Structure 1
Amino acid sequence: MNPLITLLITLVGIAIGAAIGYFVRQYQYQEQLRKEQMEAGSILQQAKSEAQEIRIKAQEDILAMRQKAEQEIERRRDELDRLDQRLQNRRDELDRRAERLERTQENLNRRQSSLDRRFNELKKAEEKQAEELQRIAQMTMDEARQILLEKAEQEAREDMARIIRQIEAEARDEGEKRARKLIADAIQRVASEHVSEVTTKVVNLPSDDMKGRIIGRNGRNIKAFEQAAGVDVIVDDTPEAITISSFDPVRREVARRAMEKLILDGRIHPAYIEKVLRKEAKEVERIIEEAGEQAAYDAGITGLHPAIIKMMGRLKFRTSYGQNQLDHAVETAKLATVIASELGADVTIAKTAAFLHDIGKAMDHEIEGTHASIGAEFIKRYGVHPLVVNAVAAHHHEVEQQSVEAVIAEAADAISGARPGARRESLEQYIKRVRALEEVATARKGVEEC
C-alpha cells in the first residue's frame, strides 16, 4: 500500500479516536454534572424542610412564651390590684384614726376651756368674797347672823355634794374592780385551748417538673382547674410549691385538697380535674356540717336551724388577724355564758348571740353589706329570737342594743379578740394607740414627756 495512504488512514483513525474520546468524556462530564445537580437539589429541599420545621418550632415556642408572659402579666396585674385595695384600706384606716385624734384634741381643748372658765369663776368668787367682807364690816348683829346662817347652809350643801361625788367615785372604782375580776374569772374558766392559725394557701410539690404537668399543654390543665374551682393558681419561681388564691376560704380549701389529690394521683387532665373537684367539694361540705355541729355542741347551743349550723361551719376556714373565726365564736359563747351567769342575765340568749355574732363573715364576700347586718338578716329568716338578732346586728353599734345580753355578747367578743395571743396584730395596734396618745399629750404646751 502506498505509504501516503497509510499515513492518511492512520491520521484519520487518530482523529476519529480523538473525537470519540472527546464525546465520551463530554457525556461522562454531563452525566456527572446532572447527578451533582440532583444531589444539590435534594440537599436544598432537605434544608428548606428543616428550615420550615425550625420556623414552625420557633413560632410555637414564641407563642408559648407569649402566653406564659401574658399569664404572668395578668397575675401581676391582679396582685397589684390586691395591693392597691390593701393600700386603700390602710388609707381609710389612717383617715379614721386621724378623725379620732382630732376628736380627742377637740375634747382636750374643751376641757382646757372648762378649766379656764373654772379658774375665772374662782377668781371672781374671791373678789366677791372680799367685797362681801367689806360690806359685813358695816352691818348690824342681826344682819351679820343672817349672812352667817346663809353661808353655813351653802357650805353644808357643798359638803353634801362633795360627799355624794366621793361615794359615786368609790362605787365606780368598786364596780370596775368587780367587772375586772368577773372578766378575769371568765377567761380562766373558759381556758381556751386553740391557738392562732392561718389557712394555708401553699401546695407542696414532689418536684418542679410537676409544675409543667399542672399547667398542661398551652395551659389547658391550669385553666380548667381555675375555672372549675373558682380560684387563681399562681405558679412562680418558688421551688417545689404553687399557691392557690381566692377570697372565698371554702373554695380555697376545696381547691387545695383537690390539687393535693391530683398531685398524689398523677392523672392531671381537664375531665379528671372536674371529677376530683366535685368529690372534694362534697367532702368539704361534710367537714363544714360536722364542724358547725361540733362547735354548737362545744358552745352548749341547741335548737338552731341546720342552715345556720352549716353556715357557722364555714367559719372553720375563715380567719381574722390569724384568729380562727369558728374557734372565736365558741370561745365568745363560753365567755358570754360565764358573764351572763354572774350578772343574772338570760344565759341562753347571751351565749347564742355571742356564738352567732360573726356568722355574717361566712358570707360577706358574696353579699353586699357589713357582716353584722348580713348575719342578723340571715338568722332572722330562720326564726331566731329577736333579742339574739338584735345582739348580732348591734355588736359593732350599727344599731341600738335592746338588751343587756347584747352588751354581754359585745363584751365577750372584745375579750376574745383582745386576749393576748388571740390575734397577731394586737400588740402592734396597742403600740400604735399608745404612740398616738403620747403625740396628743406632748402636743400640749408645757408637756415634755409622758
Structure 2
Amino acid sequence: MEIVIGLVIGLLVGATIAYFIFGRKAKAQDQTHQQEAEKLLAEARLKADKELADARLKAEQTFAEFKDKQEEFKKQKIAESREKFARYKEEFKQEKAEELVELRQKREALKEEQTSMKEERASFKADLDEILKAKENFKQREAELQTSKQQLAEEIDRTRSKQAELDTQHERFAQELEKIASLSQAEAKQRLLEEVRAKAETDAMSLRRELLVEAKEDAAKDARKVVINTIQRMCAEMTIENTVSVFSLESDSVKGQIIGREGRNIRAIEAATGAELVVDDTPETIVISSFDPIRREVARLSLKRLVSDGRIHPARIEEVVAKTRKELESGIKEIGQKTVIELDIHGLPAELIRMVGRMRYRSSYGQNLLKHSVETAHLCAVMAAEMGLSKKQVKLAKRAGLLHDIGKVADEDNELSHALYGMQMAEKLKESAIVVNAIGAHHDEIEMNNIISPIVQACDAISGARPGARREILEGYITRIKELEDIAKKNEGVNSAFAMQAGRELRVLVEADKVSDTHADELSFKISQEIQETMQYPGQIKVMVIRETRSVAYAR
C-alpha cells in the first residue's frame, strides 16, 4: 500500500514537474510564434505599403497622361473649330463679295439702261426734229416737183414737134436714096437677105465638115460609151426596206410578261432600245417599229433572248440590251470583213470595214445601202475594164464604188453632205487621193480630177435608177423622224430621245439631277413649239418628257 501511495505521489510529483517544464516550453514556443507572426505582419504591411505607393504612383502617372491627352484633344478641337470658323467666315465673305459684285453689275446695268434711255430719248427728239425738217423739205420738194412737172410737159411738147420734123426729113432722105440707087426699100432688103443666106450656107458647110472630122475621131469613144450603157441591163435584186419587224411568240401568255406590271417591262425595253413595241390582238405576234434598222434589230434580238431566258424585269432588260448591242457591233464588223473579202478589196482600214458593215442596217430611199454599194462596186469594176483601164485602176474603181456612200453611216451628226463627210473620213484614214476625190465628187459637190470619179458617179446613178430600187417616201419619213429626235437632243439635260408610233409621239428621257419636274413641263412645251415652227407633218405629235430617279446599291 505504501508502495502504491509512493508511486501515486511520485506520479503526481512527476506530472507536476512535467507540467511546469512543458508549460514553459509551450510558452516559449508561443512567444516564438508570436514574434514570427509579428515579423510576417510587418513584412506584409511593408509590402502592402510599397504596392500601394506603386499603385498610387501609376495612378498619378495615368492621370497626368490623361490630363495631357485631354489638353491635346481640347487644343485639337479648338484648332478645328477655328479652322471651320475661318472657312465659314471665308465662304461668307466670298458669298458677300459675289453678292456685292452682282449688285454692282446690276447697278451698272441699271445705269447703262438709264443712259441708254436718255440716249434713246435724245435720239427720238433728234428724229422728231429731222421728221419736222423732212416735212418742210417735202413741202418744198413738192413745190419744186410741181414746177418741174410743168417744165417737163413743155419739154415733151417741144420733143414731139422735133420728132415730127425728123420723120419728115427721114422720108425725104429715103426718097433721095431710092433715086440715087435706082432701088426701092423692098428690093434692097431682098438683095441683102440673099447675100446673107449665101454666106450662111458656106459657113454651115464648113462647120459640117469639121463636125464630121470630130465625129470620126470620137467614134471609138462613142462605141465604148455604148458598151457602158449596156451595163444598165445588169440584173440586180430589187430591195425595199421596211420600218417594222415581226417577232413571233410561242404563246400569247408571254405577252403579259413582256408588258410587265403596269407596263414597266415594255417601257424599259422601249427606253433601252429606242424602238416601239406594238402588242395588239394579233395572236402570238409582237410588232417592233423603228425607223433605225439597228435599233429594230437590237430590240428583236433582246426580246428573243429575254423570252428564251424567262427572266423579264427592268434590270435584266438593260443588261440584255447592252450585251445584245455589243454583240451586234461585233456582227457588224464581221459583215464588213465578209463584204471586202467577197469583193477582193485589200488594205481597208478597220474603221472603214466597220462602217461598211453598218451599211447593212441603213437604207437610202428604201434601197439597202450595203447592197447598193456592193452593186455600185461591181458596176464600177466592169465599167473601168470595158473602158480599157489598167488593173490597178479597176481595183481603185471597185474600192471607190464600195465607199462612195460611207458618209451616210457616220457615228455622229454633221452639217456636211454625206459625200463631203465621207470624203473627209476617207482622207483622215489615209485612203488613196483618187478614191477620196471619187467619194466627194459623186454628187458634183467638188471638181473631178481623175477618170475614176465620173465612173463612180455614173454607176451610182445606174444602181439607184433601176425600176423599184428606191422609194423616196420612206427616205422623207426617216428624215422627219431623225429631225424630231435631233430637236429634242439639242436641249440641255436631255439624255436620249426616241420617236415612236411613226412619228406621232416623241419620248424624251432627261437626267433627273439636271431637270426638275417644273423644268420638265417647260421642256415639253418648248420642244413642241419648236417642232411646230420648224417642221411640217400631218396630224399632231405628242411630246412626252420622262424624268426618272434611280437609287442603286450593292450588297457584297
State how 1:80-119 maps to structure 2 within 5 Å: none
Task: Return the alpha-carbon distance in structure 1 between the equivalents of residues 327 and 187 of structure 2.
Answer: 85
Structure-2 residue corresponding to 1:405:
452
Structure-2 residue corresponding to 1:97:
none
Shift of 1:173: 8.5
- Residues 299 and 331 in structure 1, CA contact (< 8 A), matched pair in contact too: no
1:3-50 Cα shifts (integer Å, max 9, x gaps):
xxxxxxxxxxxxxxxxxxxxxxxxxxxxxxxxxxxxxxxxxxxxxxxx
**TM-score, scaled to structure 1:** 0.55
| 1:163 maps to amino acid | R
**TM-score, scaled to structure 2:** 0.46
| 2:225 maps to amino acid | A
* RMSD across aligned positions (CA): 3.3
1:314-365 Cα shifts (integer Å, max 9, x gaps):
1111123442211211111111111112224422332211110111221277
1:214-253 Cα shifts (integer Å, max 9, x gaps):
1211221112212222333333454433332334322221
1:120-149 Cα shifts (integer Å, max 9, x gaps):
xxxxxx976732599xxxxxxxxxxxx9xx
- Residues 359 and 371 in structure 1, CA contact (< 8 A), matched pair in contact too: yes
State how 1:179-258 maps to structure 2 within 5 Å: 179-185=225-231, 188=234, 192=236, 194-198=237-241, 200-258=244-302
Match of 1:422 among 460, 466, 469: 469
- Residues 262 and 273 in structure 1, CA contact (< 8 A), matched pair in contact too: yes
Structure-2 residue corresponding to 1:289:
333
Match of 2:385 among 333, 341, 344: 341
- Residues 240 and 469 in structure 2, CA contact (< 8 A), matched pair in contact too: no
Gaps of 5+ in 2: 1-185, 474-556
Structure-2 residue corresponding to 1:14:
none
Match of 1:370 among 417, 423, 432: 417
Structure-2 residue corresponding to 1:273:
317
- Residues 358 and 392 in structure 1, CA contact (< 8 A), matched pair in contact too: yes
Structure-1 residue corresponding to 2:191:
131
Task: Return the alpha-carbon distance in structure 2 between the equivalents of residues 154 and 413 of structure 1.
Answer: 44
Task: Return the alpha-carbon distance in structure 1 between the equivalents of residues 431 and 193 of structure 2.
Answer: 72
Shift of 1:205: 3.0
Shift of 1:172: 7.5
Structure-1 residue corresponding to 2:118:
none
Structure-2 residue corresponding to 1:388:
435
Task: Return the alpha-carbon distance in structure 2 between the equivalents of residues 418 and 133 of structure 1.
Answer: 50
1:139-175 Cα shifts (integer Å, max 9, x gaps):
xxxxxxxx9xx99887544312123345556877885
- Residues 245 and 289 in structure 2, CA contact (< 8 A), matched pair in contact too: yes
| 2:434 maps to amino acid | L
Change in CA separation of 1:366 and 1:220 when aligned onto 2, cut-off 3 Å: farther
Shift of 1:268: 1.4
Gaps of 5+ in 1: 1-125, 135-146, 427-450
1:323 paired with 2:367, answer yes
Task: Return the alpha-carbon distance in structure 1 between the equivalents of residues 276 and 427 of structure 2.
Answer: 34
Task: Return the alpha-carbon distance in structure 1 between the equivalents of residues 208 and 465 of structure 2.
Answer: 37
- Residues 240 and 471 in structure 2, CA contact (< 8 A), matched pair in contact too: no
Identity fraction in percent: 44
- Residues 381 and 394 in structure 2, CA contact (< 8 A), matched pair in contact too: yes
- Residues 438 and 448 in structure 2, CA contact (< 8 A), matched pair in contact too: yes
| 1:158 maps to amino acid | A
Structure-2 residue corresponding to 1:308:
352
Task: Return the alpha-carbon distance in structure 2 between the equivalents of residues 127 and 265 of structure 1.
Answer: 104
Change in CA separation of 1:151 and 1:268 when aligned onto 2, cut-off 3 Å: closer
Shift of 1:307: 0.7
Give secondary structure in 2 for the equivalent of 1:267: coil
Change in CA separation of 1:285 and 1:127 when aligned onto 2, cut-off 3 Å: farther
Change in CA separation of 1:304 and 1:133 when aligned onto 2, cut-off 3 Å: closer
Change in CA separation of 1:128 and 1:315 when aligned onto 2, cut-off 3 Å: farther
1:55-107 Cα shifts (integer Å, max 9, x gaps):
xxxxxxxxxxxxxxxxxxxxxxxxxxxxxxxxxxxxxxxxxxxxxxxxxxxxx
Give secondary structure in 1 for the equivalent of 2:288: strand
| 2:204 maps to amino acid | E
Task: Return the alpha-carbon distance in structure 2 between the equivalents of residues 186 and 299 of structure 1.
Answer: 20
The answer to which of 415-424 and 393-402 deviates more is 415-424
Give secondary structure in 1 for the equivalent of 2:334: helix
Give secondary structure in 2 for the equivalent of 1:243: strand
**Structure number, greater radius of gyration:** 2
Q: How many residues are aligned here? A: 284
Shift of 1:408: 0.5
Shift of 1:209: 3.6
Shift of 1:177: 5.5
- Residues 407 and 421 in structure 2, CA contact (< 8 A), matched pair in contact too: yes
1:277-313 Cα shifts (integer Å, max 9, x gaps):
2332232122211110111122221111001100110
Task: Return the alpha-carbon distance in structure 2 between the equivalents of residues 129 and 212 of structure 1.
Answer: 96
Change in CA separation of 1:417 and 1:265 when aligned onto 2, cut-off 3 Å: same
Give secondary structure in 2 for the equivalent of 1:300: coil
Task: Return the alpha-carbon distance in structure 1 between the equivalents of residues 425 and 276 of structure 2.
Answer: 29
Give secondary structure in 2 for the equivalent of 1:201: strand
1:99-122 Cα shifts (integer Å, max 9, x gaps):
xxxxxxxxxxxxxxxxxxxxxxxx
Change in CA separation of 1:206 and 1:154 when aligned onto 2, cut-off 3 Å: closer
Task: Return the alpha-carbon distance in structure 2 between the equivalents of residues 295 and 128 of structure 1.
Answer: 78
